[in-house]
Amino acid sequence: MKQQNISILGATGSIGTSTLDVISLNRDKFRVFAITANSQIDKLFLQCIEFNPYYAVVANESDANRLHDMLRTKEVDTEVLYGAESLAYVASHQNVDMVMAAIVGAAGLLPTLDAARAGKKILLANKETLVVAGDLFMRTVRQSGASVLPVDSEHNAIFQSLPEKVRLAMANGKWKTEDYQSSGISSIILTASGGPFLDTDIDIFANITPQMALKHPNWSMGRKISIDSATMMNKGLEVIEACHLFNIPADLIEVVIHPQSIIHSMVRYIDGSVLAQMGTPNMCTPIAYCLGLPERIDAGVEALDFFTTDALCFRAPDIERFPCLQLAFEALRLGKDAPCILNAANEIAVANFLDDKIRFTDIARVIEKTMSLCPLNDDIFSIEQLLQKDTIARDMAQQIITDMIKNDE
Ligand code: NAD
Ligand code: MG
């Protein structure tokens, strides 16, 4: 395999760091072209020293100057850039073979879209891209000849469990809904751990603190996705992600609670077979799968030990306990730009919960209210329209929270 140039968007985050961990085990195969970060300049600095990328991109000029000065004292000649245009530059540069899209939230949308327009191989962790702009993004992938490989562990597991011809067509956005039947696929099954509050008494949900919610039983992840897992909005976002990625209607997607997170998701076939992908819960596995395809490469992940693994259990999701999951299904049913509104309201609600401004149970209330107040656009022609709706929904959600806090006083 020729050495591949990779840009890592969101290199300082949980997925970004795991990506660099896998690359460090496979340096002959990958060359880090660019890394980007929002605010963790010290961490980005250490990554520049270790991987010597051509470019490092940060959010603003003062951080760029600081990082530049720090790097020169170490005689590292990484060029430091800043701002949205620079993110686009490293996501679409002609020398880049693949882009790891690992910025959190809707902030990751534009550079991921830039990578798609430039026809890159996109390793997609940023599920919000598909939630906010799924149709537009997948259309761009189809038109530009880009390909999308799912990093999200569930979608990666499904990808691995699909027939090869489906995998190829899917990655290029060329898979059609009708093709499921002819390939003998009857449904895809997303597994969910259920998060830290699967069995918590529902009466104490209102008293759940950010510290409690950030402690996921199986996965170590960034703060926002950890809260999404605790509310199960993460599974809701993943259902929307799956609809776009696999071009599959929502009624062919099953959600199954599997608290041990050993099976990462499954595909059900018409002959009664269910193919699953299993492993120790560690994001380095799906990352290594996407990086190495069509080869398998070392991910540095502990082998699954069947003799110390708990019994594997399965149960149905409890929508009353996790209303966010229901809200995501509702956004899918409404279609149009409802998923964009859902995502924006969720990002604002989660940020306020993490800041101790609202209760855990208020997250779903804020999203529901925003969805009921924010009008839907019938036709979505452009990314600008979606970004405008994202801003409107964020402002609305913030106002709902301000009113909520006032009424509580
Ligand atoms: P994180 O919070 O750990 O890291 C986020 C990264 O994005 C950081 O490098 C940060 O600097 C950057 N960033 C944040 N805001 C930015 C902005 N406004 N502009 C530019 N860069 C910005 O997040 P994470 O857990 O690594 O998740 C990243 C994405 O991957 C999310 O979309 C998440 O849903 C998805 N994902 C994560 C996991 C996981 O295990 N962590 C699993 C599946 C999917
Ligand atoms: Mg996931």
Query: What mean pLDDT do residues 238-249 have?
Result: 95
pLDDT value at residue 298: 98
The ligand 1 atom at the shortest distance from the C-alpha of residue 153 is 43
CB neighbour burial string for 344-375, b if at least 16 within 10 angstroms, e if fewer: bbbbbbbbbbbeeebbbebbbbbbbbbbeebe
Nearest-angstrom CA–CA distance, 304 and 161? 18
pLDDT value at residue 88: 98
pLDDT value at residue 146: 96
pLDDT value at residue 2: 86
CATH of domain 4-150: 3.40.50.720
Nearest ligand to residue 17 Cα: 1
% of the chain surpassing 90 pLDDT: 90
Kindly indicate the confidence band of residue 180, based on its pLDDT and cuts at 50, 70 and 90.
Answer: confident
Residue 274's nearest CA partner among 108, 161, 127, 352 is 161
pLDDT value at residue 306: 94
335-409 maps to CATH 3.30.360.10: no
Query: What mean pLDDT do residues 342-363 have?
Result: 98
pLDDT at residue 295 tops 80: yes
pLDDT value at residue 290: 98
Query: What mean pLDDT do residues 205-218 have?
Result: 94
Q: Where are the alpha helices (DSSP H) in 118-192?
A: 127-144, 153-161, 164-171, 179-182
pLDDT at residue 379 tops 90: no
Kindly indicate the confidence band of residue 309, based on its pLDDT and cuts at 50, 70 and 90.
Answer: confident
pLDDT value at residue 173: 81
Binding site membership of 124 for ligand 1 (Cβ less than 6 Å)? no
Q: Residue with the nearest Cα to atom 21 of ligand 1? A: 38
pLDDT value at residue 340: 98
* Lowest pLDDT segment from 31-35, 53-57, 308-312, 383-387: 308-312
Can 4-150 and 335-409 be said to share one CATH topology? no
Q: Who wins on pLDDT, 78 or 168?
A: 78
pLDDT at residue 409 tops 80: no
* Lowest pLDDT segment from 19-23, 168-172, 400-404: 168-172
Q: Residue with the nearest Cα to atom 2 of ligand 1? A: 222
Average pLDDT, the chain: 96
| Prediction pTM value | 0.97
pLDDT digits (tens, 9 = 90+) for 155-166: 999 999 999 888
Binding site membership of 287 for ligand 1 (Cβ less than 6 Å)? no
Using alpha carbons, list the distances in angstroms from residue 358 to 353, 364, 408: 5, 11, 10
Query: What mean pLDDT do residues 33-52 have?
Result: 98
Query: What mean pLDDT do residues 240-267 have?
Result: 96
* Lowest pLDDT segment from 18-27, 146-155, 304-313: 304-313
pLDDT value at residue 176: 84
pLDDT value at residue 96: 98
pLDDT digits (tens, 9 = 90+) for 75-127: 999 999 999 999 999 999 999 999 999 999 999 999 999 999 999 999 999 99
Count of Cβ atoms closer than 10 Å to residue 272 Cβ? 7
Kindly indicate the confidence band of residue 17, based on its pLDDT and cuts at 50, 70 and 90.
Answer: very high
Nearest ligand to residue 219 Cα: 1
Kindly indicate the confidence band of residue 182, based on its pLDDT and cuts at 50, 70 and 90.
Answer: confident
pLDDT value at residue 381: 82
Q: Is the preceding omega at residue 196 within 30 degrees of 0, hence cis?
A: no
Using a 10 angstrom Cβ sphere, with 0-12 exposed, 13-18 middle and 19 or more buried, the burial of residue 74 is exposed
Binding site membership of 128 for ligand 1 (Cβ less than 6 Å)? yes
Binding site membership of 26 for ligand 1 (Cβ less than 6 Å)? no
pLDDT value at residue 139: 95
Nearest-angstrom CA–CA distance, 202 and 217? 18
pLDDT value at residue 216: 86
Q: Are 259 and 281 in contact (CB under 8 A)?
A: no
Query: What mean pLDDT do residues 140-145 have?
Result: 95
Kindly indicate the confidence band of residue 317, based on its pLDDT and cuts at 50, 70 and 90.
Answer: very high
Binding site membership of 283 for ligand 1 (Cβ less than 6 Å)? yes
Domain residue spans in the chain? Answer: 4-150, 335-409
Q: Are 303 and 35 in contact (CB under 8 A)?
A: no
105 secondary structure, DSSP code: S
Binding site membership of 38 for ligand 1 (Cβ less than 6 Å)? yes
